[in-house]
Amino acid sequence: MCTTCGCGIGQTRLNGKSIQLRRHSDKPLNYRPPGQDILHSHAHDPIPVDADHASETIHFGTGIAGTHAPGMSQARMVRIERDILAKNNHYAGENRRYLSEQGILALNLVSSPGSGKTTLLVKTIQMLRGKLPIAVIEGDQQTDHDAARIRATGVPAIQINTGKGCHLDAHMVGHAMQQLPLQDNSLLFIENVGNLVCPSGFDLGEAHKVVILSVTEGEDKPLKYPDMFHAAGLMLLNKCDLLPYLTFDVDLAIEYAHRIHPALPVIQISATQGTGMPAWMDWIEAECRRTAVAKHTLKSTDQTLG
Amino acid sequence: MHEMSLAENMLQLIEEAASEQKFTQVKTVWLEVGQLACVEKESLRFYFDVVTHDSIAQQARLEIIEIAGQGLCNQCHQAVLIASHYEACPHCGSYALQITQGDGMQIKELEVE
């Protein structure tokens, strides 16, 4: 565990090796005494929960911000208005820019543990082998079992162990991208930590999150874990070969997913039996073409500007 | 669990602000949290206390301002308030809502010394 702030990041490992993901300052923070109060206004505050009308803006002038009297104490107000995911989003933006410049399609696979992500990935790699270069970033709390399964297919893989962490973040993925042999115009799969909650909020710089729901889970998972289904660009309904033995209602599951995300495309597959996999291949190939076009457009724009 | 990362990010933003705006002690943090943001407020409070221990924000009070979820209905084009991602439009019953507000988290301001 990190000794500076007590966080679990210190246990993050890349292929078993410890990496310093967060830079903490060793020196204590020394600052000059505060100057004058900073003026602030509340004109653009969004609507709080207790507002009774959607277009009405309520002002937060009632707290200490509005009542504080300068000169009474050394206290002052500092308005910073920063998104607390700004740091992650900055790293994600860097990853995304690099990926699009190199024409690399990055897909972030997310699901609960046990939905068949790694099996799906192995089968997908076998079907795409020879068509385009592939690399994989594997995220798990512990072990490099998944990366070993991927490497057995002949594709380079980096394992990120998040230690106590429950999700990959863009900084970890940026490190892993530097260590991977990433070829231009290739495909990068990022298999996130099996968790339907936390990875939804962390942009890694991927083109799409692909959420995998297996038919051995409940149909109402999209309603129970809405953030992930809202963030996803594709849903794969996996293990469909088991449907004859289960009471899983496919239409209901898709209806629930569409309540959360009306435009979410859904492909029904069985990674082990191969059904539906051609549709998934078609989707990947269409996205690869889109990435190639975007790279081309980016280059011509750069040349025009340069 | 990811609330710990969020709390760490908050501390980083506060430390950056401290270095820019020259302050040494944070007394209160006003944080806006959208109703649709993927964050559990009580868990965030817990980790904020843990993460800020021995820092510039030690013992800072965390004031959470909850921001209503708001969306635009793609079917009847009305602005609606929603508390969760799976709510239907109260006017026409459609689930095709586009989120326009309340899915973010932002440190609004700090009381500092």
In tens, the pLDDT along A187-204 reads: 999 999 999 998 998 999
Residue at A282 is within a domain: yes
Closest CA to A190 of A204, A175, A171: A204
Min mean pLDDT across A20-24, A112-116, B90-94 is at A20-24
Domain that includes residue A248, residue range = 86-299
Mean pLDDT of A102-128: 97
Which of chain B's residues have a Cβ under 8 Å away from the Cβ of A254? none
Residue at A21 is within a domain: no
- Integer CA distances (angstroms), A228 to B2, B37, B57, in order: 14, 11, 32
Enumerate the β-bridge partners of residue A136: A157, A189
Q: Which residue of A has its CA nearest to B65?
A: A48
* Residues sharing a CB contact under 8 Å with residue A80, sequence separation 6 or more, in sequence order: B13, B17, B107, B108, B109, B110
Residue at A305 is within a domain: no
Cβ–Cβ gap A48/B66 under 8 Å: yes
Which has more confidence, A163 or B10? B10
What number is the ipTM of this complex? 0.77
Three-state SS sequence of chain A? CCCCCCCCHHHCEECCEECCCCCCCCCCCCCCCCCCCCCCCCCCCCCECCCCCCCCCCCCCCCHHHHCCCCCCCCEEEEEEEECCHHHHHHHHHHHHHHHHHCCEEEEEEECCCCCHHHHHHHHHHHHCCCCCEEEEEEECCCCHHHHHHHCCCCCEEEEECCCCCCCCHHHHHHHHHHCCCCCCCEEEEECCCCCCHHHHCCCCCCEEEEEEECCCCCCHHHHCHHHHHHCCEEEEECHHHHHHCCCCHHHHHHHHHHHCCCCCEEECCCCCCCCHHHHHHHHHHHHHHHHHHHHHHHHHHHHHC
Which of chain A's residues have a Cβ under 8 Å away from the Cβ of B64? none
In tens, the pLDDT along A44-60 reads: 456 666 544 433 322 32
Q: Are A287 and A208 in contact, with CB atoms under 8 Å apart?
A: yes
In chain B, where the domains are located: 2-112
Cβ–Cβ gap A32/B21 under 8 Å: no
Q: Are B104 and B70 in contact, with CB atoms under 8 Å apart?
A: no
Residue at A18 is within a domain: no
Q: For residue B13, give the 3-state DSSP assignment.
A: helix
Q: Which residue of B has its CA nearest to A24?
A: B12
pLDDT category of residue A62 using cuts at 50, 70 and 90: very low
How close A20 comes to chain B (CA, Å)? 15
The CATH classification of domain B2-112, taken from the options 3.40.50.2000, 3.30.2320.80, 3.40.50.300, 3.30.70.1020: 3.30.2320.80
* Residues sharing a CB contact under 8 Å with residue B103, sequence separation 6 or more, in sequence order: B34, B36, B37, B69
CB atoms inside a 10 Å sphere around CB A140: 20
How close A135 comes to chain B (CA, Å)? 27
Residue at A105 is within a domain: yes
> At A176, which CATH number?
3.40.50.300
pLDDT category of residue A6 using cuts at 50, 70 and 90: very low
Mean pLDDT of A68-95: 79
Residue at A206 is within a domain: yes
Number of compact structural domains in chain A:
1
Which has more confidence, A69 or A258? A258
Q: Which of residues 51-110 of B touch A (CB under 8 A)?
A: 51, 53, 55-56, 63, 65-68, 70, 74, 79-81, 84-86, 88, 95-96, 99, 101-102, 104-110
